[in-house]
Amino acid sequence: MATRVEAECSSTQDGDKVCLLGSRPELGDWEAAKALELKTGPKLWPRWTAQLPPGMAGAEFKLVIRRRDGSVEWEPVPHNRSWPDAPTGSKLCFRYGDQDMQVAKDSGYSRVKFDMGEDSKAPPVPKGHRAKTHLDIRQRLVANSDKFRKNIEERFELETALLGEGGFGRVVKARDKETGAWRAVKTILKSRVTHMDEVKQELQLTQRMDHPNIVRLYAVYEDHCSLYLVLELCEGGELFDRLVDEKFLTEPVARKIMKQVFSSIAYCHARDVVHRDLKPENYVLMSKARAVDQTPLKLIDFGLATSCRQDQSLNTAVGTPFYVAPEMLGHPYGREVDIWSCGVIMYCLHCGRLPFTAPTDLEVLRQVKRGRYSLDGPIWDQVSAPAKDLIGRCLEMDAGKRITATGALEHSWFQKSGAAADPKVFDPEVLQNLKAFSAANRFQKAALVAVAYNLTAEEGHELRETFTKMDKNGDGYLSFQEVQEGLGPILERSGTNLSEVFKGIANAEGKLEYTQFIAAAMDEQLQGNEELCWRAFKVFDKDDSGVITMSELQQVLGGDELSKMIEGQSLAKIFESTDKDSNGLVSFSEFMDMLHSTAVLEPQSPTRSSIYTRAMPSQGLGALLSTELSQSPKN
């Protein structure tokens, strides 16, 4: 049985060939003209592959690039490679310019990671901080359950038309059979994944994110072939495609886009997460029908993201050459690399081209290391001085002097959007809803959070706009001061003790998160929408039986301090009070009654019928860097 070779090499141009050259006839007997050509393609590149017969053990070889001009370039490794004694049916994986090789079971194409150093996946908790041992309510609502998350087609109808496709799988549109909601389903083929722990880390990081400009993860399914990520549906396409269509955008439109970009990164950095692969392709728009500045922008793909505190350094060279920061090329780096990438995106938005370009990736990296770019020409003559200043502060070569994401949001460029918005953006009824949410029990709060988390972009538009206006520093949270300023005179007239209300809705750090705010501020129209409540009900109804059991409630609310006495009521007591007919099950009708008890909402009408208004429903950077370092002149 043949052995398959899978080599990663991105140092090629059109017309170049990557070949195996070695000491066996199959490898050309060290004659470059007879070297074995590897195959690639648009979906496979930068991976190159070939099938080799058995019996190759002990053969010496190297990778070579046969350039289109006839020249031959040998990979810069110190010694010949030696073919390992690999079992039949296996594959040999390695990277151009890297001596290391891996032998794996040949079950499909994979991405192989060769680190330049070790990154801490779970940094120690700083002194004075207590490590959290539980997920908050929102995270529990999307956490994977092996018992109930096996067959995705039992719950979703998957369309065949592709929304997107990558090296690990594809993305399609899907309809939830139980709720009628439309989602995006990202399929990750296990056969193409070498390091499943990296995929699991991506899921954990995505699950932690709760920001209006970061895509939402609703559920995870897994079978023996694939992982299925049920995500927020964004049909507006990649920001990159809009840039290609429009060449460049007006400055006011660029300002609206960059505010969302910086806000999403400020939130990630506040949670000690560095993305490391920011680029227009990783931002998608919610709607195709709306103008680019009239629809929310969403950050996707946390595949290269990792934990990184402000005082922590990383060493692994990853990312996309056009957007990578110079300090990542051979030096320890921190979260500042994301700001450099933001600067590149902002540059593109204003002129329609990249600041650092060259025929090959290797030459691009050399341009990045020099850090020279142009703000001259007819297009740049129309760009304001504050915009150019912010680009320069993002593309600052000294990472220690580079502006932060929150600093960028406070930059004068973002103050040019006209008269300051009235900070008093809360409707008086919102205060009553906040008070009711603060006093609700844990089941009621979790149910409202589930309703809020399942809102579509259109359904949550007004509340999202309110949150964004209130979030003055753009960090993705509301502080007590920001809420106090938003309520303004309403507080004075009501005599409400906002401090007590805020304690009941804020997280352990004293901040109000996005979904928690939506849940607390929803009005009766949203809470009384049966379609929305049905979506929330199905979050708890894990086995799709049409009722909620005590064990299902414990799955969301149980564990750690959530299982202890809450506001004088145990979890069992809360369940018992909701189960009106005492049959050990919570029906949808009982769920709705619980949502609309006076502790949560004061109905506008005394009749129950008024509630029911609707019917139920890129990682090749390490290789480039090693090549660059090997070719750099020694001082």
User: Looking at beta carbons, which pairs linking 142-146 to residues 24 or more positions away fall under 8 Å?
Assistant: 142/207, 142/217, 142/218, 142/219, 142/220, 142/453, 143/207, 144/203, 144/219, 144/220, 144/222, 145/542, 145/555, 146/222
Residue 185: C-alpha distances to residues 156, 196, 240 (Å): 9, 18, 21
Spatial contact of 61 and 20, defined as CB atoms under 8 Å apart:
yes
Selection from 145, 277, 163, 262 nearest residue 207 by Cα:
145
Spatial contact of 339 and 405, defined as CB atoms under 8 Å apart:
yes
Cα 415 from Cα 304, distance rounded (Å)? 33
Query: Over 257-289, what HEC string results?
Result: HHHHHHHHHHHHHHCCEECCCCCHHHEEECCCC
DSSP string for 466-521: HHHHH-TT-SSEE-HHHHHHHHTHHHHHHT--HHHHHHTTS-TTS-EEHHHHHHHH
- Cis peptide bond N-terminal to 42, omega within 30: no
Containing 400, the helix (H) or strand (E) segment is: none
Cα 395 from Cα 103, distance rounded (Å)? 40
Residue 421: C-alpha distances to residues 294, 416, 465, 517, 555 (Å): 17, 12, 12, 20, 43
Selection from 229, 210, 251, 599 nearest residue 442 by Cα:
599
Spatial contact of 430 and 463, defined as CB atoms under 8 Å apart:
no
Residues of 61-92 as b/e, b for ≥16 C-beta within 10 angstroms? bbbbbbeeeeeebebebeeebebbebeeebbb
Question: What is the signed CA dihedral for 482, 484, 488, 493, rounded to 10 degrees?
Answer: 160
Active site residue 277: yes
Distance of CA 206 to the CA centre of its chain: 5
Q: What are phi and psi of 304, to 5 degrees?
A: -105, 0
Structure tokens given for 90: 């296996």
Spatial contact of 533 and 601, defined as CB atoms under 8 Å apart:
no
- Give the single-character DSSP code of 218: E
- Which residues, other chains included, contact 561 with Cβ-Cβ below 8 Å and sequence gap of 6+? 134
Cα 403 from Cα 399, distance rounded (Å)? 8
Q: At 280, which amino acid appears?
A: P
Spatial contact of 578 and 279, defined as CB atoms under 8 Å apart:
no
Question: If DSSP codes are grouped into helix, strand and coil, which group holds residue 74?
Answer: strand
Q: At 42, which amino acid appears?
A: P
Among the listed residues 277, 338, 475, 541, the single catalytic one is 277
The set of catalytic residues is 277
